[in-house]
Amino acid sequence: VYYYTVSAVDKAGNESKQSGPASIIPKDTTPPPAVTGISAEVVEKERKVILAWETSNAGDLKGYYIYRGTDKKRMARIVGKPLNFKGKPQFIDAGYKKRGLNPGVSLFYAVTAIDISGNESIREYVEAKIPDNVPPRAVFSFTAKTTDEGGVMLYWQPSLSRDLALHRIYRDAGKGFVKFTELK
């Protein structure tokens, strides 16, 4: 808070009494410094990302915002309110309802610092590659029929997995299943 008073001074240098004080709180438009030391650790089995960064030294820090996207130009804020931490800041992104992040994608994260006036620092980015450790969904409605020529026709509904590359066909002739062929 700043307080001001005004006095009048004549040409001879005589000064009047000061006016009553007026107070003002200037609007804070200065964002806090950008976060530093941002890192992303991918937990492969659970497909989650642990973000960490250095604590901001801003005196009026309210907290941090976290953003996520598939590229730096299209990111969504994934926290509602600024996150406030005691000690070293850390955020765990385990995906929707903690089910794990989508396998096989690269995600960009950004962290910003927010001050009590709502000023936001510039974004600092880090990339995390989520491993594809999830097998495709199984085929369904699988049947086998003989043809009039003595051959075999196999029918199935293909896997609905987005990253499906091919179907492998295995055959057992009494000695266990062995890979027979692959179809793209």
d(CA 64, CA 112): 5
Q: Does pLDDT of 85 surpass 90?
A: no
For 45-61, how does the pLDDT look when each residue is reduced to its tens digit (9 = 90+)?
899 999 999 999 898 99
The per-residue b/e assignment along 39-76, b for 16 or more CB within 10 angstroms, e otherwise, is: ebeeeeeebbbebbbebbebeebbbbbbbbbeeeeebe
Q: Could you tell me the pLDDT band of residue 3, with boundaries at 50, 70 and 90?
A: very high
Banded model confidence at residue 160, pLDDT cuts 50, 70, 90: confident
Amino acid, single-letter form, for residue 61: L
Token pair for residue 10?
């004549």
Please determine, for residue 162, whether its predicted confidence score (pLDDT) is greater than 90: no
pLDDT for the residue 19? 96
Length of the chain counted residue by residue: 184
List pLDDT tens digits, range 90-108. Answer: 999 998 888 889 888 999 9
Asked whether the predicted pLDDT for residue 133 surpasses 90, the reply is: no
Amino acid at 154: L
- Give the model's pLDDT for residue 31: 95
Confidence of residue 141 (pLDDT cuts 50, 70, 90): very high
pTM: 0.72
| Phi, then psi, of 134 in degrees rounded to 5 | -115, 120
Non-local (6+) Cβ contacts of 24 within 8 A are 1, 2, 4
Q: How many CB atoms lie within 10 A of CB 84?
A: 11
pLDDT at 145: 95
